[in-house]
Structure 1
């Protein structure tokens, strides 16, 4: 199985509190378990640590966002 997110970078965090629906949290838990299996890790990955890489990947793949960002810096 090929996962879009495989490694969780360890960066200095900025605290952000977010509420997600229970169904989204269950999906995050399932994704974290899949990452742990794919990386042959003993314990589960913290589901909260998936949120940043997922958002980062989403924004990187959003062409409209990238175009808008380039226009604002020009």
Structure 2
């Protein structure tokens, strides 16, 4: 079969506590998004996409992932 087994697509719910200043900035970002695209999205809807964009834009993380070292640190022993 040419199609590989599909990855796990079960959503994972996480609760995050934010400092008030970050919550305010995220709200402002949602306002900016609405101004830019003409449609309102709530902060919880934007956060997963923001995190994905952040991870994709981090060259060190991408390099580490390509080398197969996800989630592990090099040992000095």
User: Common fold, TM-score beyond 0.5?
Assistant: yes
1-side partners of 2:11 and 2:45: how far apart?
10
Greater Cα radius of gyration, structure 1 or 2: 2
Are residue 55 (structure 1) and residue 56 (structure 2) matched? Answer: no
Secondary structure of 2:67's partner? Answer: helix
In structure 1, the gaps of 5 or more residues are 1-10
Tell which has more relative contact order, 1 or 2 (C-alpha 8 A, sep 6+).
1
Q: What TM-score, normalized to structure 1?
A: 0.68
* TM-score, length of structure 2 as denominator length: 0.66
Residue aligned with 2:14, SS: coil
1:45 paired to 2:77 = no
Q: Where is the helix percentage greater, Structure 1 or Structure 2?
A: 1
Structure 2: unaligned runs, 5 residues or longer: 1-8, 70-77
Residues matched between the structures, number: 61
Aligned to 1:35: 33
CA RMSD of aligned residues (A): 2.0
Q: Are 1:32 and 1:47, in contact at CA under 8 Å, matched by a contact in 2?
A: yes
